[in-house]
Amino acid sequence: MKVLVTGANGFVGAALCGSLAARGQAVRRALRRVSPAVEEEAWGSPAVSVGDLGPDTNWLAAVSGCEAVVHLAARVHVMNDRAADPLDEFRKVNVQGTLRLARQAAQAGVRRLVFVSSIKVNGEATRPGQAFHADDVAAPQDAYGLSKHEAELGLREIGRQTGMEVVVIRPPLVYGPGVRANFLALARAVKRGIPLPLGAIDNRRSLVSLDNLVDCIATCVSHPAAAHQTFLVSDGEDLSTTDLVRRMARAMGTSARLLPVPASWLEAGAALLGKRDVVRRLCGNLQVDIAKTQALLGWTPPVSVDEGLRRALVAANE
């Protein structure tokens, strides 16, 4: 099977291309621009330049001869977005750009499109013990989540009109080798022995290691039962923030210095400093139920949380 992967040089895309190639799939990488150095990269898979993702991107050469497409490229969620109209910018890339790809893929005879969406389509938080499910009513609360939801709806309609099989995967926070942003900052703080006021957080959050996400995507590329389905994915073990920090420390061969500050105090301090969103993610719940993914695909996360953390934190431990 020949598979086109968009965003192929990204955090998830690079790992996915390697995994698909190892499974014997013929991989074609779609990139904004292709340089000679990129052409010589591993996996023996050709790269094709498609330019910026948007409503006018021409995908015909990229999708020609492909049986499946995995769509990872997107305008990603960022804190303190400075765009004059963030929703409009998200829609141009994540909705119009995605639907343009889908229409041209269907036109070229692509059989299946796997769309990597976001758990933000479900919402921002869950009540204790009440996880998100794949078939819940969508409840996006920001521009990024809304754009992903609108893309999902458009893809479903294109699938109905053309017969192309659409598969949607909604991951929570993804961590793995090369992870950056808040996860890496937290890991570095733990490694340096900085005291953290996170020793009394009794919440539950679902995460997914890069290896587990890639394995689930690769499964959805070809599994017959994946057609026209939406799946949630995680490591299968939910952690409190306190437990996550302790296990990050253990993965790096050190001890976490945790101060038992009540979550209510953190929330009050965050309100004064304008950091409510940061503390919400640290103290709130966000759980996903992967029972449907396991039942329909016969899939279980191949990598444990502790092994996923060990692989992710090798660089931070050097």
Please identify every residue annotated as catalytic.
Answer: 144
Instruction: Using alpha carbons, select from 189, 209, 204 the residue that is nearest to residue 282.
Output: 204
Q: In what order do the strands lie in the sheet with 230-232?
A: 47-49, 26-31, 2-6, 68-71, 112-116, 165-170, 230-232
Q: Which residues of 81-212 form beta strands (DSSP E)?
A: 112-116, 165-170, 173-175, 207-209
Contacts 24+ apart (CB under 8 A), 256-260: 256/190, 256/196, 257/193, 257/194, 257/195, 257/196, 258/195, 258/196, 258/197, 258/198, 258/199, 259/195, 259/196, 259/197, 259/198, 259/199, 260/199, 260/200
Instruction: Kindly state the tokens that stand for 125.
Output: 């938080």
| 149 SS3 class | helix
Kindly state the helix (H) or strand (E) to which residue 3 belongs, with its residue range: strand 2-6
| 193 SS3 class | coil
